[in-house]
Amino acid sequence: MKLQVIPVGIYQTNCYLIEEEGLCIAVDPGDGDGAILRYLEKKEKRVNAVIVTHGHMDHFADAAELAGHFQTPIYFPKEECAYLSSAEARRGPYDERIVHIFEKALAQRGVLTEEGEEIRFGSLCFRVIVLSGHSKAGMCLYEASQKILLAGDQLFAGSIGRTDLYRGSGTDLVCGIRQKLLCLPEDTVVLPGHGPHTTIGEEKRSNPFLSEEVLWNL
């Protein structure tokens, strides 16, 4: 497996390109200015699938363009999609025009994912782990053979995702990480949506947001 990280946009979102057996997957293409597409064209590469971990603009801004250009599916968490389309979301954080563009792309190319589902590309098999708290219901993807976790904005090196956005919840996020992510093998490499990579073991030992004291105070 070949893994490449390309930080894009003003928030320097980590867009991951994962290549295996001639297939290429783009995870969280969030630039909004076509940077990933330009990069792929320059390298004469194409993508076979687009994965979006959650419904924040800095993670999906280029998803529709990429998927349209290469005629690929867009994998997106189902419950997050339902929320994105809701009246509550439109009253709150989401720009109507952006939601419309994204909904159109999802209607044409969307593959909605749920907890426990497996997404297969060649020999790679990503298990969907849904977590609430950073957004309504984003997803992480765990690939056991390569021991990698695409963590979106749920878990970072030494930190966790912000929980002050719409439908955010510190309790949900910390409990979800402890229950669903910290049980993964300690040498699993965590590939977060921003910043450097880490491991499950390192976060178990040293992430201040996941300590027992924090849990008792929730």
Per CB under 5 A, residues contacting Zn ion are 56, 153
Which C-beta is closer to Zn ion: that of 143 or that of 153?
Answer: 153
Which H helix or E strand runs over 190?
Answer: strand 189-192
CB of 134 to Zn ion, least distance (A): 6
CB of 218 to Zn ion, least distance (A): 21
Which C-beta is closer to Zn ion: that of 12 or that of 211?
Answer: 12
CB of 198 to Zn ion, least distance (A): 17
Which C-beta is closer to Zn ion: that of 40 or that of 207?
Answer: 207
- Contact, 66 vs 29, CB < 8 A? yes
Among 128, 147, 148, 126, residue whose Cα is nearest residue 138: 128
CB of 193 to Zn ion, least distance (A): 6
Which C-beta is closer to Zn ion: that of 19 or that of 172?
Answer: 172
Which C-beta is closer to Zn ion: that of 126 or that of 156?
Answer: 156
CB of 66 to Zn ion, least distance (A): 18
